[in-house]
Amino acid sequence: MSETMLIIEAREPLAFPESKPGTQFRKSLPFVPGAVLFGAIGQTLAHTGQFDPDLLRRLRCRNAYPMREGDAWVRPLPATAIHPKGDDQHMRDSLVQRVCWERQRPPALLYAPVDADGRPWEPAGQQFYTIRDGKLEKRTVTQRIHTRVAINRRRGTAEDSLLYSFFAINETIPNTTTPTRFIGSLALVDSGDPETWERVKALLRERVRRLGARQTTGIGGVTLDLAPPVQDRKVRERVEALTERFKRQIARYRRLGGSSWELSDRQVLTVNLISDAILLRDGWLPTHELSADMLRDLTGIEATLLRSFTTTRIVGGWQALWQRPKTTHVAVRYGSLYVFETTHALTDEHYAALERLERDGIGERRAEGFGQIRICDDFHLINWEGKHGSTEQ
């Protein structure tokens, strides 16, 4: 698989509505959906006489999330991220403690976390984060309302007394002149022909100048820049680090009288959704659960689903090339995750299968950015017991 990082810089306000039509007064998505990049590439290929369905099927246009200068990556917060009520600056992860408490049930110990001031913790919600210099940092965008006058298509002039308003992402970071930027990635599966991959990258750099909705109203201008993929921790390291955290918490609850739970040579791993995923059971039935059978079919790993943290939404889209709506689906929201306990020790082949799964994704419409996953997201590996936001090696 060939892969490149993609940095999108806003030159004008950007709008990525969740649905079309009827977008008045509805906020834009706070990121650049992979489907927008996929559509821009497909439309450019068609306009230049190079349309290639096989190439589009092998593309993986991944979501681009808001970044700051120097960020190597940005991902959604997992659904297990929590913060004290009324204070969204101090976050932590509830995954290990919560799963272990639900499994072991130590007597007279309720799972109701509060901070040092007695404030209850609540879900952090749909936000984005990165880790810089060993510390957790959040990433956001701001939006404002734009108002336009409707055009009478028959006369080609402004329609009397008819205005419409929509939200768009600001082209600059508030109180600065720094452009709003997003970071994502683009990959090509089974890229046996280097010329094809170079052609795709050239199209992005030279041809794609506008993204998103409302382009005829003077928004959507962007510049694209490509960068080499970042060096990442191996899946094996992340799985072993998370398993070790579970072992420590299991031992702690056992000392408090909790039921016995031995991992011995087994592993605990999470499958984190870093984009919405369209999952189908038996090839046709919509589902919000990644079952143990589905994991076995994808990787050959025998495991038990311990817990899932999921929410769903309806996703659709608009075919810019054919000017018609896409089929709507029930999708599992980004930030959702599934926790598995393997029934055996993982081998090199199993870890290689997880690496492939992470690169290729799961579910339907993966070319459009759906189904991006990360095995044992870095958020779960932060040492919350030490200095806030420090990473655990």
Residue 10 falls inside a structural domain = yes
Same domain as 368, residue 259: yes
CATH of the domain at 289: 2.60.40.4350
Residue 202 falls inside a structural domain = yes
CATH of the domain at 49: 3.30.70
Closest alpha carbon to 347 in 251, 235, 248, 272:
235
Residue 156 falls inside a structural domain = no
Tens-digit pLDDT string for the chain (393 aa): 789 999 999 999 999 988 765 566 788 999 999 999 999 998 898 888 888 888 888 999 999 999 999 999 999 999 999 999 888 888 999 999 999 999 999 997 888 878 778 889 999 989 999 999 888 999 999 999 988 888 887 887 877 778 888 899 999 998 899 999 999 999 998 766 788 888 888 888 889 999 998 888 889 999 999 999 888 899 999 999 999 999 999 999 999 999 999 998 999 999 999 999 999 998 889 999 999 999 999 999 999 999 999 999 999 877 766 778 888 899 999 999 999 999 999 999 999 999 999 999 999 999 999 999 999 999 999 987 654 444 443
**pTM of the predicted protein model:** 0.92
Residue 388 falls inside a structural domain = no
Same domain as 187, residue 276: no
Q: What is the pLDDT of residue 369?
A: 93
Q: What is the pLDDT of residue 389?
A: 43
Same domain as 66, residue 14: yes
Please report where in the chains the tokens 């932060």 appear, as a residue: 382
Same domain as 275, residue 220: no
Same domain as 284, residue 257: yes
Q: What is the pLDDT of residue 336?
A: 97
Same domain as 301, residue 218: no
Same domain as 313, residue 240: yes
Same domain as 365, residue 307: yes
- Contact by Cβ (8 Å): 306, 339: yes
Same domain as 58, residue 196: yes
Residue 108 falls inside a structural domain = no
Same domain as 257, residue 339: yes
Residue 59 falls inside a structural domain = yes
In angstroms, the CA 317 to CA 307 distance is 31
Write out the two tokens for 14.
């950007």
Last residue of a domain, one of 210, 227, 244: 227
Residue 84 sits at φ, ψ, to 5 deg, of -60, 145
Closest alpha carbon to 55 in 206, 227, 197, 194:
197
Q: What is the pLDDT of residue 359?
A: 92
> How far, in Å, are 84, 92, 313 from residue 113 at the CA level?
9, 11, 28
In angstroms, the CA 149 to CA 218 distance is 13
Count: domains in the chain: 2
Residue 80 falls inside a structural domain = no
Q: What is the pLDDT of residue 391?
A: 44
- Contact by Cβ (8 Å): 373, 273: yes
Helix 95-104 and helix 235-255, axial crossing angle in degrees, nearest 10: 50
- Contact by Cβ (8 Å): 34, 175: no
Same domain as 249, residue 373: yes
Same domain as 43, residue 174: yes
- Contact by Cβ (8 Å): 185, 229: yes
Last residue of a domain, one of 178, 197, 227: 227
> How far, in Å, are 40, 209, 319 from residue 44 at the CA level?
6, 10, 13
Q: Which domain holds residue 9?
A: 2-74+170-227
Q: What is the pLDDT of residue 78?
A: 97
Residue-wise DSSP of 327-350: PPEEEEPTT-EEEEEESS---HHH
- Contact by Cβ (8 Å): 335, 78: yes
Last residue of a domain, one of 227, 246, 274: 227
Q: What is the pLDDT of residue 392?
A: 45
Helix 292-299 and helix 348-360, axial crossing angle in degrees, nearest 10: 100
Q: What is the pLDDT of residue 218?
A: 86
